Amino acid sequence: MHTLIDPLKRALQIGPKETALIHDDIEITYEDMWRRCSLLVGGLQAMGAQKGDRIALLANNSHQYIETYVGVPSGGMVIVPLNTRHAMPELVYALKDSGAKILLTDRTELGELAEIVDHVITMPGDYEALLDNAGEAVLGEEGDENALAGLFYTGGTTGASKGVMLTHRNLISNTYNWLAAVPQSSEDRSLVMAPLFHAAGSNGVLGAIWLGACQITLGAFDAKAALDLIEKHKVNMTLGVPTMLAAMADEQHTNPRNVDTLEILSHGGSPIATEVLRRTSSAFPRTQIVEVYGGTETSPLATVLRHEEKLIDDPRARSCGRSVIGSYVSIRETDGSELPTGTVGEVVVAGTNVMKGYWNKEEQTAAVLKNGRYWTGDLGYMDEAGYLFLVDRSKDMIVSGGENVYSTEIEEVLYKHPAVLEAAAFGVPDEKWGEAVHAVVVPRPEHSDIDPSEIIDFCREHIAGYKVPKGIDIQHEPLPKSGPGKVLKRELRAPYWENTDRSVN
| Angle between helical axes of 242-254 and 274-283 (0-180°, round to 10) | 40
3-state class of 177 per DSSP? helix
Instruction: Give the start-end residues of each E strand in 297-372.
Output: 301-305, 322-323, 327-332, 345-351, 357-358, 369-370
Taking a C-beta distance cutoff of 8 angstroms, is the pair 413, 462 a contact? yes
- At residue 98, the pLDDT reads 98
Angle (nearest 5°) at CA 205 between 87 and 46: 70
DSSP states of 129-155 as a string? HHHHHPPPPPSSTT--TTSEEEEEEE-
Q: Is 224 exposed, middle or buried (0-12, 13-18, 19+ CB in 10 A)?
A: middle
- At residue 239, the pLDDT reads 96
Burial code (b: 16+ CB inside 10 Å, e: under 16) for 279-289 equals bbbebbeebbb
- At residue 272, the pLDDT reads 77
Contacts for 345 with CB less than 8 Å, ≥ 6 apart: 331, 332, 333, 339, 379, 380, 381
Taking a C-beta distance cutoff of 8 angstroms, is the pair 199, 241 a contact? no
The model's pTM: 0.84
Provide CATH 3.40.50.12780 ranges for the chain. Answer: 5-381
Please count the CA atoms within 13 angstroms of the CA of 102 that sit on its side-chain side.
25
Provide CATH 3.30.300.30 ranges for the chain. Answer: 398-497
pLDDT in tens, 342-396: 998 999 999 999 999 999 999 999 999 999 999 999 989 999 999 999 876 666 6
Q: Which CATH architecture has domain 5-381?
A: 3-Layer(aba) Sandwich (3.40)
Angle (nearest 5°) at CA 396 between 170 and 473: 145
- At residue 397, the pLDDT reads 75
Q: How would you classify the pairing of strands 345-351 and 322-323?
A: unpaired
- At residue 502, the pLDDT reads 55
3-state class of 494 per DSSP? helix
Q: Which CATH code fits 398-497?
A: 3.30.300.30
What are the residue ranges in the chain where pLDDT is below 50?
156-158, 483-484
Q: How many other C-beta atoms lie within 10 A of the C-beta of residue 352?
A: 17
- At residue 484, the pLDDT reads 44
- At residue 402, the pLDDT reads 79
Taking a C-beta distance cutoff of 8 angstroms, is the pair 19, 67 a contact? no
- At residue 154, the pLDDT reads 86
Q: For residues 314 and 322, give the distance between their C-alpha atoms in angstroms, rounded to a whole number.
A: 15
